Amino acid sequence: MSFVLRSATLTLIGVLAAIQPTFSLLAQGTKSTKTQRLPLDVLVIAPHPDDEVIGCAGIILRALAEHRRVGVVVITSGDGYPAIAAVVGQKDKMEVGPADFLKAGALRQSHSVRAMARLGLPKEDLTFLGYPDSGIESLYTRNSSAPFVQLFTRKSETYGVTVPDYHSLVHGKPAPYLKASLIGDLVEIIRERQPKEIYVTHEGDTHGDHRAAFWFVRDAVRDANFQGDFFTYVVHGAPPIQPPDRRLKLSKSQAETKQAALVDHQQGTSPVHDQLAATYMKPEELFWRVRPATESTQ
């Protein structure tokens, strides 16, 4: 961004800060408000800690190298994974309880913190929403006004252990596990950070949380009247038949950093994620554009 454009943007931010109450809420609720209020060029949305690296490490590295601002939003803390809860709780998988899942979520949050620091992302630009791992599809499709209760943690509202959840930071209280809460958080972030590009998992991904993450972001994009570029990436399952709209071939340096960030996500989970880096390290990242005029409605 040129100096003139940046100055104009900063002036605009000043005006917005004066008229939008949410900006002052951010100022009250977070420590590093100056950076958090800045508009984003790229917004990467991941269902779980590790998807941000698997899908978009190259996109993040390239944008940061070009001095563009990147935000990463992780929808869940990965707190619904019994095999990892068993490792951190040092128990059999059949004996794990809520405390073990909370520990697993804390560990997986710390993985993303470390991996994003490795990529050079300012910590203020990494956000955890604290919604239920393995519960995102249910959150979207269920027909109930009562908050969803996650089977593993027994939580029914957003939270964070290593890093507090977005809603608590910004609004001073957690959000109930409801479809409207997650859409609301995403709309708020998109409106406030005004990204030019958004990336989220593809609706054809075979993991329920991943396809539901798409549904939520698609709805939030519509509600926020987002006009930028909207891309998807596939983590689990076959890629779409259509050729990708964007390919990012990783340089040697980008590949080495991505590999190391994937290994960050293996720490303390052995043997569960021992093959994470080996499985997901690819020479290029592929993205499919979502075109609002032709997208399906859920």
Q: Which is nearer to Zn ion, 51 or 100 (by Cβ)?
A: 51
CA angle 174, 175, 180 (to 5 degrees): 170
Q: Which is nearer to Zn ion, 75 or 119 (by Cβ)?
A: 75
Least separation, in Å, of the C-beta of 73 and Zn ion?
13
What is the residue type of 17?
Answer: A
By Cβ distance, which residue is nearest to Zn ion? 48
220: left (phi over 0), alpha (psi -120 to 50) or beta: alpha
Q: For residue 109, what are the CA distances in angstroms to 47, 116, 194, 248?
A: 12, 11, 25, 26
Q: Which is nearer to Zn ion, 78 or 89 (by Cβ)?
A: 78
Q: Which is nearer to Zn ion, 51 or 125 (by Cβ)?
A: 51
Q: Which is nearer to Zn ion, 39 or 208 (by Cβ)?
A: 208
Q: What's the longest Cα–Cα distance across the chain?
A: 60
Least separation, in Å, of the C-beta of 2 and Zn ion?
37
Cα separation, 90 vs 113, in Å, equals: 23
Least separation, in Å, of the C-beta of 200 and Zn ion?
11
Strands 284-289, 246-249: parallel, antiparallel or unpaired by DSSP?
Answer: antiparallel
Least separation, in Å, of the C-beta of 251 and Zn ion?
25
Q: Which residues bind Zn ion (CB under 5 A)?
A: 47-48, 51
Helix (H, G, I), strand (E, B) or coil at 129: strand
Least separation, in Å, of the C-beta of 25 and Zn ion?
30
Structure tokens at 85: 């809860």
